[in-house]
Amino acid sequence: MSRVINMVSGGLAGLACFAGMVWFMIRRLKKSDNPGGLVSKWIISGIVLLFLVFRILPWAAGGGYDSAFAVPFAAACGILLGLIWAPNIAAMVSKPLASLYDGGDAEVEARPCLSLAEARRKKGLYEEAIEEIQKELAKFPENFAGNIMLASVYAEDMKDLDAALAILEQVLNQPGRSPDQVAYSLNRIADWQLKFRQDTVAARAALARIVELYPGSEQAQVAHQKLAHMRPPEPINPTQTRAPIALPHGEENIGLRDDFAGLMPPQEDPEAATAILIRHLEEFPQDWEARENLALLYAEHYQRVDLAVDQLEQLIAQPGQPAKKVVHWLNMEADLRIKYGGQVEAARAALERIRNGYPNSAMAETARNRLARLVFEIKAKDASATVKMGSYENNLGLKAGGPPRRPA
């Protein structure tokens, strides 16, 4: 029974070795630049090995007169195998180093060559550039970069916005487009509608499509920012002429004045600015800039760090916020807590949130470094708050005689 088991296990092991060898040979054939030459080397090597096993080894084992021929024949077989496989062994050894320069066996993704079209475009040969792009798109019809370049040439160089918009709509209808590609295309549509047609309605509609397609995403947050700062167009009356803008006469000899009263720009009323920002945020609650400015007003003018921090926390809590912006707001929260509230532990907690939220990142390392310097920031704040300026004599530089001389 044990003999049968040994035979079966031996057969299975041999079969596994044979299957592994076949798999290795097929793999090498697929990667080889000369499959026929590789097969020839295997055949010759097999014949040499069979000669070694079934002819030279029996000579060496039998002793006598034939054993004298075993060593030179074995050496000759080794030299022959070395000559056959030396190029392959050298390539195997040098391949890791060569791969650093030529990429090795990594397959290169096929993509259109748009450099010639770009060169034509830079020379002002726009029609020829379009022809070159269309040649490449015939081979790669869904290539994103090629379609965007074609639309850009039509919109920005040929001044044919309808053709450019048609190309971008075709890109948007292609399946498999990533959110970044869709958002980029819709942003280009919005930008061109504003630039070439001053059509705010169409531009807002393009941005609204991003918000509708990817709600709560980073792409939607960026679209919200553009929507919040896109002002509606002013109605144009062709019969009405614009009144000339009167420029005030500038102050002459400003450097000779004793004081600058009346020359400083009027200071904005903080309470009025706060009311404007609140009304704006009621309509555009995702506006980053407006909420940051409101937080600064709460902290600087009203001395309400709690309200300022609440504005920043509302920004952080919105879904889809970019990591860099969240880190910026947490750092801003730490600044306000230290500068206007003296809340050291709360500032430290804000910086710890960066470390915990984005571990093993450059942002976490920056937060760690700032945590180590936090005590110095607090000391610098306290020192700047207690410094008193001394009283100095006016017009010291205009006094005759200069500084007193030291005794000789």
Cβ atoms of 85 and 45 closer than 8 Å: yes
Q: Output the pLDDT for position 315.
A: 95
Say yes or no to pLDDT of 242 above 90: no
**Is pLDDT above 70 for 240?**
no
CATH homologous superfamily for the domain 122-228: Tetratricopeptide repeat domain (1.25.40.10)
Q: Which of 23-37, 122-136, 193-207 has the weakest average pLDDT?
A: 23-37
Per-residue confidence at 14, pLDDT binned at 50, 70, 90?
low
Question: Could you give the CA distance from residue 317 to residue 221 in angstroms, rounded to a whole number?
Answer: 12
Lowest mean pLDDT among 34-43, 81-90, 103-112, 394-403: 394-403
The sign of the dihedral angle between the CA atoms of 250, 256, 261, 265 is: positive
Neighbours of 180 (CB within 10 A): 13
Residues 269-384: name the CATH superfamily.
Answer: Tetratricopeptide repeat domain (1.25.40.10)
- The mean pLDDT of 357-377, rounded to a whole number, is 90
Asked whether residue 46 carries a pLDDT value surpassing 90, the answer given is no
Residue 41: what pLDDT? 78
- Structure-model confidence comparison of residues 56 and 314, the more confident one: 314
DSSP 241-304: PPPPPPPPPPPSSGGG-S--TTTSPPPPPHHHHHHHHHHHHHH-TT-HHHHHHHHHHHHHTS--
Domain map (residue ranges) of the chain: 2-95, 122-228, 269-384
Average pLDDT over residues 7-22: 69
- For tokens 């062709």, the residue is 238
Q: Name every residue whose Cβ is closer than 8 Å to that of residue 364 and which is 6 or more positions away in sequence.
A: 354, 355, 358
Burial class (CB in 10 A: 0-12, 13-18, 19+), 286: buried
Token pair, residue 121, equals 């475009």
- With a cut of 80, say whether residue 10 has pLDDT above it: no
Structural contact between residues 284 and 228, judged by C-beta atoms closer than 8 angstroms = yes
- Do 189 and 206 form a contact (C-beta atoms < 8 A)? yes
